[in-house]
Amino acid sequence: MMSSELVAALEALATEKNIDEIYLLERLERSLAESYERILDLPEKRTRVTINRVNGQIYVFELIPIGDPDPETGEYSEFEEKDVTPSDVSRIAAQNAKNVINNIVRDAGRQQIFAEFSERIGELVNGSVLQSTAEFTIIKIRDGVEAELPHFDIKRNPEERNEKPAVEHYRHNQRLRSLIIAVRDPSRKDTGVKNESTRPAIVVSRTHPDLIRRLFEMEVPEIYDGVVEIKNIAREAGARSKISVASRDPNLDPVGACVGPKGSRVRMVVEELRSERVDVIQWDEDPAVYVKNALSPAKVTNVIISEEKLNHATVIVPDDQLSLAIGKEGQNARLAAKLTGWHIDIKSTSFVSDLPGMDFSLIDDDENYRSEDGRCEYIATSGLRCPNRALSNSRYCRLHQDDHNVDESLELAADHLEDELENLGELLGADAAESNAGAESADGAAAGAELVESAEDTVAGEAAGAEGAAAGEAAGVEDTVAGGAAGAEDEAVIDDADNATSADAADTASADEASAATATN
């Protein structure tokens, strides 16, 4: 006979684990019935066990069918109970009680977890790493609640999942944010998952695209409030992701809201994703503009929407932007296609210009063109686009506008130098014509020789200055102009010295002819 103290212990356990007392006793009765059915060699499913709720006494009955079976199912509907309670029933009950109670407590806990977290699928949870193996990582969400981050080899286990980025490795007690993607139902049987009953009920992911959505909702108040909307996400976990955003407020820049001051908001997301690169682009109703933005940071010349093929676009890019638009192993183009849902063909301008009948206008030909998002279009050597806002009626910000105009400034400086040379040549030529012959000419010849040497030094200095100006910033252009003007004056003086030297030679020849004539006379 089971003592009343054991019944009291079961009641206390049910209260502590928040398990229904009646459910606990019924589970124990069913387990004991299965045990006595084997021990007493009774017919299958013909044994019933009852436990007295007051004194804990156990009774075992054999169910004997009465009457005829159902003609359709062959089962009996009425039974007669025969008491077959053995003398050592308490000993057998005690042996089964421990295992039954452990199973009941575990199943009840899993049922509670399922009821709580099945409504939280798609939410972000924080946890710490308890254990990591080659096939899964166990994450502790709170006391008594654990989650599984599976990273099985899909080729060897096609029925399993792989929710961990390949570049991530976890340490014990490491804090981790993950997304709930599934909760296993403990009452479901034959799911095809190996050892499902002993594995955590909650399944989390670090590769799901919605993980980025939830992280941005935490870091960007405008997204959480619904002012800025994330339209779509394309992700290759651990490597790179692209998200398109749109603003319901026309006065709010959605890209700037997601990036944050000095990139603080997007930086927090990147750190949580273990340095995964995240591109935030602006969504647009115009497919051509949307495709162009999706290929950022590559600079797009033109987008041609196919009228024959559905969701098919041909993108024209400059030759030096072709590799950037395609990306490493096609990653940038692949993510852009996933983000927009369009098939994108990328071609260079030199390739398209050789095709017959291909007519398109270059965006670069429009002097008043300005980027749709209003940002500077300067692309650094690292492939990153300048975050500054472009000037009015310009494609560049104030900083890079000067760099963009260096070539134009050099051309203007060259024209100015040429005009100065012509003016100085005319002035110095007139002065040379009025100079006197004789001793002054000899002195002029000596001065001309000195000026020739000075001119050679000036020309060399001017060449070095020109090279420095071409490699420097826009501010160096002014110095080049001044240096060029000074050099022009020196070159004009050289021409004057040459003219003076020629005049001296002519005067000397005339004097010799005059002396010869006098001697003859």
**Structure tokens, 449:** 């020789």
pLDDT tens across the length of the chain (521 residues): 345 666 777 788 778 777 777 877 888 888 888 888 888 888 878 888 888 877 778 888 888 888 777 778 778 778 888 888 877 766 666 666 677 777 777 877 788 888 889 999 999 999 999 999 889 999 999 988 999 999 998 888 888 889 999 999 999 999 999 999 999 888 776 655 677 777 888 999 999 999 999 999 999 999 999 999 999 999 999 999 999 999 999 999 999 999 999 999 999 999 999 989 999 999 999 999 999 999 999 999 889 998 888 999 999 999 899 999 999 999 999 999 999 999 999 998 888 776 554 544 444 444 444 455 677 777 765 555 676 777 777 777 767 776 666 545 565 666 677 777 777 777 776 555 555 444 344 444 344 445 335 444 543 444 444 344 434 443 443 443 334 434 434 443 334 434 433 434 334 334 344 333 333 32
State how far the Cα of 272 lies from the Cα of 238, in Å rounded to an integer.
11
**Structure tokens, 236:** 């290759």
State how far the Cα of 337 lies from the Cα of 143, in Å rounded to an integer.
43
Class of domain 285-365: alpha beta
Q: How far is residue 325 CA from its own chain's centroid?
A: 15
What is the H or E stretch that residue 125 is in? strand 124-132
Whole-number pLDDT of residue 322 = 92
Return the HEC string of 260-304.
CHHHHHHHHHHHHCCCCEEEEEECCCCHHHHHHHHCCCCCCCEEE
DSSP track, 312-336: EEEEEE-GGGHHHHH-GGGHHHHHH
Which CATH number is associated with domain 4-115? 3.30.1480.10
Instruction: Examine domains 4-115 and 118-189+196-208 and report if their fold is the same.
Output: no
CA atoms in the 13 A half-sphere facing the CB of 70: 7
pTM for the whole thing?
Answer: 0.59
Annotated domain spans of the chain: 4-115, 118-189+196-208, 285-365, 405-520
Placement of tokens 């062959």 in the chain? 74
Which CATH number is associated with domain 118-189+196-208? 2.40.50.140
219-234 b/e with 16+ CB inside 10 Å = b?
bbebbeeeebebbbbb
